[in-house]
Structure 1
Amino acid sequence: MKKSIKLSILILSLILVLSLMAACSSSKSNDEGVAEAPGYNTAYPDEGYGGGKGMDGGDMARDEAEIDPASPPSSLEPEKVITTYELDFETTEFDKTINNLTKLIEKYKGYIENSDISYNQYYNNKSYRRGSFAIRIPKNDALSFKTELNGIGNMISESTRKEDVTKQYRDTESRLKVLTTQEERILALLEEADNIQDIIALEERLSYIIYEKEHLQASLMNLDDKVEFSTIYIDIQEVERLRSTEDIDTSFGTKIKNAIENSIYGFVTGLENMVIWMILAAPFLILLALILFLAYRIIKRKRIKRDIEEK
Structure 2
Amino acid sequence: MRYIFSLFLFLVITLSACSKASDDKVYNSSVSAITMSAPASVDGPQTIPQKIIKSANLKFETADIEETFQQIQKAVKESHASIQSDSEGKNDISLYRNITVKVPSQNFDVFLQSITKGVSYFDQKEISSEDVTDQYIDLDSRLKTKRKLEERYIEILKKATKVSEILEIEKQISEIREEIESKQGQLKYLESRISESRVFIQFYKPIAEKQSVKVSYGSKLLTAVKSGFNELSGSFIWLISIWPFIIIFCVLAYFIRKRFKRRKKE
TMscore range, shorter length: 0.5 to 0.7
State how far apart, in whole Å, the 2-side matches of 1:176 and 1:169 are: 11
Larger Rg: 2
1:276: which partner in 2?
A: 219
TM-score for both structures, normalised by structure 2: 0.67
- Once the two structures are superposed, residues 142-168 of structure 1 have per-residue CA deviations (whole angstroms, 9 ceiling, x without a partner) of 112101112376754211123232232
Distance in 2 (alpha carbons) for counterparts of 1:277 and 1:10:
97
CA distance in 2, matches of 1:4, 1:181: 29
Tell me how many residue pairs correspond in the alignment.
229
Deviations 1:206-254 (A, max 9, x none): 12212221221121121111112211111233x355xxxxxxxxxxxxx
Matching residue of 1:167:
134
Q: 2 CA distance for matches of 1:62 and 1:116?
A: 52
Q: Distance in 2 between matches of 1:133 and 1:277?
A: 37
TM-score normalized with structure 1 length: 0.59
CA contact (8 A) 1:97 1:152 kept: no
The 3-state SS of whatever aligns with 2:49 is: coil
Q: Structure 1 residues 10, 281: CA separation in 2 closer, same or farther (over 3 Å shift)?
A: farther
Give, in angstroms, the shift of residue 58 of structure 1.
Answer: 4.3
Match of 1:145 in 2: 111
Per-residue CA deviation, residues 110-167 of structure 1 (Å, 9 max, x unaligned), is: 222x21324x53547x9x4x43322122222211210111237675421112323223
Q: Check the 8 A contact 1:101/1:152 in 2, yes or no.
A: no
- Which AA in structure 2 matches 1:212? E
Q: Which of the numbers 165, 169, 180 marks the counterpart of 2:147?
A: 180
Whichever residue aligns with residue 121 of structure 1, its letter is: K
Q: Is the 8 A contact 1:8 1:195 kept in 2?
A: no
Question: How far 1:7 sits from its partner (Å)?
Answer: 4.1
Contact 1:97/1:153, CA 8 A, preserved across alignment: no
In structure 2, stretches of 5+ residues that fail to align are: 1-15, 239-248, 250-266
**Which secondary structure does the structure 2 equivalent of 1:64 belong to?**
coil
Cα deviation 1:84-134 (Å, max 9, x = unaligned): 10112444543333233222111112222x21324x53547x9x4x43322
Amino acid in the other structure paired with 2:219 = I
Whole-Å separation in 2 of the counterparts to 1:228 and 1:89: 27
Superposition deviation, residue 270 in structure 1: 2.1
Q: Could you tell me whether the CA contact under 8 Å between 1:115 and 1:131 is conserved in 2?
A: no
**TM-fit CA distance, 1:271:** 4.2
Answer yes or no: is 1:61 the counterpart of 2:32: no
Post-superposition shift, 1:283?
1.5
Aligned residue among 67, 73, 88 for 1:96: 67
Secondary structure in structure 2 of the residue aligned to 1:159 = strand
Gap change, CA 1:3 and 1:158, over 3 Å in 2: farther
Alpha carbons of structure 1 residues 195 and 152: separation in structure 2 relative to 1, 3 Å: farther
Distance in 2 between residues matched to 1:200 and 1:236, nearest whole Å: 62
Rate the CA distance shift 1:59–1:198 in 2: closer, same or farther, 3 A: closer
Q: Relative to structure 1, is the Cα distance of residues 279 and 216 closer, same or farther in structure 2, using a 3 angstrom cutoff?
A: same
CA contact (8 A) 1:8 1:198 kept: no
Amino acid of the structure 2 residue aligned with 1:192 = K
Bigger helix fraction: 2
Percent identity of equivalent pairs: 21
Instruction: Give the secondary structure class of the aligned counterpart of 1:184.
Output: helix
- The separation in 1 between residues aligned to 2:216 and 2:99, in whole angstroms, is 33
Q: Where in structure 1 are there 5+ consecutive unaligned residues?
A: 14-53, 242-264, 296-304, 306-311
Contact 1:135–1:233 (8 Å) recurs in 2: yes
Classify 1:58/1:8 alpha carbon distance in 2 versus 1 (closer, same or farther; 3 Å): closer
Check the 8 A contact 1:63/1:178 in 2, yes or no: yes
Shift of residue 175, structure 1, vs aligned partner: 1.8
Deviation at 1:277, TM superposition (A): 2.9
Higher relative contact order (CA 8 A, sep 6+): 2
Take 1:106 and 1:4, find their aligned partners in 2: how far apart are those partners? 71
Amino acid at match of 2:218: V
**In the alignment, residue 96 of structure 1 is paired with which amino acid?**
E
1:181-260 aligned at under 5 Å gives the runs: 181-237=148-204, 239=205
